[in-house]
Chain A
């Protein structure tokens, strides 16, 4: 027996009409209620203006899409296969404009190198003259286009002498090199009797980086951030490792395996990491060149080598090997 009872305020059972249709558009084809347009006129082929407007809009969108597609394809063509008649000496001056669109994405020197303490930030690389690091020379020329770089080459006392092309591999001395503080970045290459290539930057905050692959990754970070897609990043990294371990230091069997892998990858895309030029291409090109297998490479690889050379960044590497 309930203690308290309250009379119901609202009705016991309220019927609510829940709609079943989410969106409703007026029926275009249905006739308007009172206007007595004869059906014949419509069925003769004349279309309702509303329909016309919609169709016109659709056509407009399709046309714009086509235009964009054509533009993109055009750009892709100029980036991947520039004019075959292009002279390399001309391309080096052109490469300045080409490279500014090569790497997208902005990196801040302070985030990679640490706080600016008001003095030149000098990157020191110790390399063995018996194994010159071609990929680092390529990255150096790319860095020079992006920043004001003070490049110097030294010979360490542990080495008796180096051939003259190793002394001039970073290019001619900059006119302002007497004033170190005017440069953003220092690139000091020391030819030294070291077992493995080594990079030192900040003695207090960083341990030395060993191995050409790792130093290449570090320097590349100063140019552009790694692609945000982790699958792409992994692919780039795996190509870099393949280049330095199997292509440069591996046996002939390993090298031919890598060349075949390169061939199949380049059959699908113009560049190793897809549509864009990346660190993977730099690393693989330099190692292919250094291992001397460029002439014996399969067709796609040959084509890709030509494209790389046409970009013009690789001239320091080629000059060194001559």
Chain B
């Protein structure tokens, strides 16, 4: 027993000794740390003092006061895209975003960006800029908006990484107009990087969901700018071409009382004491305009489809470009008009938007879009024969499934080398009740679909303009006549033969550019899983 006790005592002692040893060590370490810290602080203080002393360029840089319209300056700001060798040796002001900044000793290189254009800028220690100014420039956060006064200088070696390759800016004054937070949710270079390159070099690319959640930043990329400028061009060409053909633009209501096409896919809204629906298509109103003697109409507006399809080409809200026109004797007059409009749009894009198309191709490479003029028109029986040759068996009155449509698109591309064509004379059984049946063969109808790159973009037909036939067809399709009474009534007081069709703006842009997801061409897309931004 005593032995243990003795041992215990010695152990305690040892422990105490060990503790004290540890304690000593700890204390020593802390002391060293404190000493180092003190040294550092002293150094910093010394530096600061020295920097503050020597700053002769203090008034040539800084964060400007928030622009609350304090004064109206008559300063002309030059656009980055206008910075060419012609402006060499001029002192100019410009406002742009800081794309990147990189400090290298006594110099700081900045890339200033404005939409699709960027230019290299340089702050160097000299008689105009001080060390502190260079440091400030290097620390400006990315995406901040700056006002810059600079001398434009020509460069001997082309600057490959910028859009303005022949000139460089030597900054004399730089002010931050709107500062950006340091941490960006996504980096713009990553957002523009092609998917394949990202995987190969191990660099990051940005997920589509991330891009859509931070749409404001994603839309600043060169690719997005190009896509939406092209989309604006499509809309513009659509309007111009149709107006030149004598069409009148109309606006149709989007809050309607009854579902016009199939009842299943409409959104319901509460309308005071009752409920109403969001329009699936302007079909009903377009036709009423024709019966009201407007002869040829078109409308551009949103279309709402409550389809729970999560595919690469469906949205719940999209922009519909719809056409309706009265014709004289044959509905092919309508097809000719629509296809000619599409061809004019394609030509306009091919001739005027090449820069945008090339920009998009850098990130999303694809084959250029090909078409024939006049547009190729095939009949449904020919399509069935081509599919049959390729080994696909289909019944005479079957509808084309999506894979068959894609296969047909490839076969047509191989034989005729066109990405755009019309398929005419669909079977009557697969078309809506207001489609006019074929006069000679009751199995077929006067209806047509148009395809781009093997995907359907337009569904149209000659409409039934006779109230009695319309009633018969509705009964045949087991539609409640009460619900469409107003629609049938519009044909009772003299209606001309007419037909038309509608396209989706986003889908047309997506297919023209060869992109793979319609959300890339919709600015703030809506689908069953996304409601913001």
Residues on B with beta carbons closer than 8 Å to the beta carbon of A26: none
A124, B381: Cβ atoms closer than 8 Å: no
29 A-B residue pairs with CB within 8 Å? A117-B385, A117-B388, A118-B381, A118-B385, A119-B381, A119-B382, A119-B384, A119-B385, A122-B382, A124-B416, A154-B373, A154-B376, A155-B372, A156-B372, A157-B347, A157-B369, A157-B372, A158-B370, A178-B332, A181-B379, A188-B416, A200-B414, A200-B415, A200-B416, A203-B390, A203-B411, A203-B415, A204-B389, A204-B390
Residues of B within 8 A of A200 (CB): 414-416
**A120-B382, A203-B414 given. 14 additional CB < 8 A pairs?**
A117-B388, A118-B384, A119-B379, A122-B382, A122-B415, A154-B373, A155-B372, A157-B346, A157-B370, A180-B379, A188-B416, A200-B416, A203-B390, A203-B415
Q: Is A37 part of the binding interface, using a Cβ–Cβ cutoff of 8 Å?
A: no
B381 with A178: CB separation less than 8 A: no
- Chain B hits for A190, CB < 8 A: 372, 416-417
A58 interfacial contact with B, CB 8 Å: no
Measured CB to CB, the closest approach of chain A to B387, in angstroms, equals: 10
B8-40: which residues lie under 8 A (CB-CB) from chain A? none
Q: Are A155 and B379 in contact, CB atoms less than 8 angstroms apart?
A: no
Would you give the shortest CB distance from B466 to chain A, in whole angstroms? 21
Which residues of chain A have C-beta atoms less than 8 A from B330's C-beta?
A: 178
Residues of A within 8 A of B332 (CB): 178
Are A192 and B381 neighbours in the complex by a CB distance under 8 Å?
A: no
User: Which residues of A lie under 8 Å from residue B411 when comparing CB positions?
Assistant: 203
Map CB proximity to B onto A200-234 as digits: 1 under 8 Å, 0 otherwise: 10111100000000000000000000000000000
Contact present for A192 and B417 (CB under 8 Å)? yes
Best-surrounded residue of B346, B350, B369, B372 (most CB of chain A within 10 A): B372
Q: A124–B382 contact, CB under 8 A? A: no
* B372 CB contacts on chain A under 8 angstroms: 154-157, 190
Whole-angstrom distance between the alpha carbons of A124 and B411 in the complex? 13
B294 CB-CB contact with A under 8 Å: no
> How far apart are the CA atoms of A44 and B347 in the complex, in Å?
103
Partner of B374, one of A120, A154, A204: A154
In the complex, what's the smallest C-beta–C-beta distance from B390 to chain A, in angstroms?
6
Contact with B along A108-149 (1 / 0, CB 8 A): 000000000111101010100000000000000000000000
- Number of B positions contacting A (CB below 8 A): 29
Measured in the bound complex, the distance between the Cα atoms of B347 and A192 in whole Å is 15
Q: Mark A175-201, 1 if CB is under 8 A from B, else 0.
A: 000101100000010101000000010
Residues of B with Cβ closer than 8 Å to A? 330, 332, 346-347, 350, 369-374, 376-379, 381-382, 384-386, 388-390, 411, 414-418
Which residues of A are at the interface with B, using a C-beta cutoff of 8 A? 117-120, 122, 124, 126, 152, 154-158, 178, 180-181, 188, 190, 192, 200, 202-205
Residues of A close to B388: CB separation below 8 A? 117
Docked Cα-Cα span, A126 to B416, in Å, equals 9
Complex Cα gap A1–B379 (Å): 98
Chain A residue at minimal CB-CB distance from B369: A157
Q: Assess the A126–B382 pair: CB atoms within 8 A.
A: no
Known interface pairs A155-B373, A156-B370. Does A120 touch B417 (Cβ–Cβ under 8 Å)? no
CA distance A186 to B386 in the complex (A): 14
A202 touches B389 (CB 8 A): yes
For residue A155, which residues in chain B have a CB less than 8 angstroms away from its CB? 372-373
Nearest chain A CB to B451's CB is how many angstroms away? Answer: 16
- Min CB distance B475 to A, Å, is 30
Cβ-closest chain B residue relative to A117: B385
Q: How far is the CA of A90 from the CA of B378 in the complex (A)?
A: 37
A188–B384 CA distance with the chains assembled, in angstroms: 19
Residues of B within 8 A of A154 (CB): 372-374, 376
Top 5 closest pairs, chain A to chain B, by CB:
A117-B385, A119-B385, A154-B372, A119-B382, A119-B381
A202 partner residues in chain B, CB cutoff 8 A: 389
Least Cβ distance of B335 to chain A in Å? 9
Residues of B within 8 A of A118 (CB): 381, 384-385
Asked whether, in the complex, the Cβ of B416 is within 8 Å of the Cβ of A181, the reply is: no
- Chain A residue numbers with a CB within 8 Å of B418 are 156
A155-B373, A204-B389, A204-B390 known; A126-B417 Cβ under 8 A: yes
The reply to whether A181 and B415 form a contact with Cβ atoms under 8 Å apart is no
- Asked if A117 meets B417 with Cβ closer than 8 Å, knowing A157-B369, A180-B382, the reply is no
B452 to chain A, nearest CB (A): 13
Note all chain B residues with C-beta closer than 8 A to A156: 370-372, 417-418
List, in ascending order, chain B residues with CB within 8 A of A117's CB. Answer: 385, 388-389
Contact of A157 among B350, B374, B389, B414 (CB under 8 A): B350
Query: Smallest Cβ distance from B413 to chain A, in angstroms?
Result: 10
Assembly CA distance A80 to B386 (angstroms)? 45
Bound-state Cα–Cα, A200 to B418, Å? 13
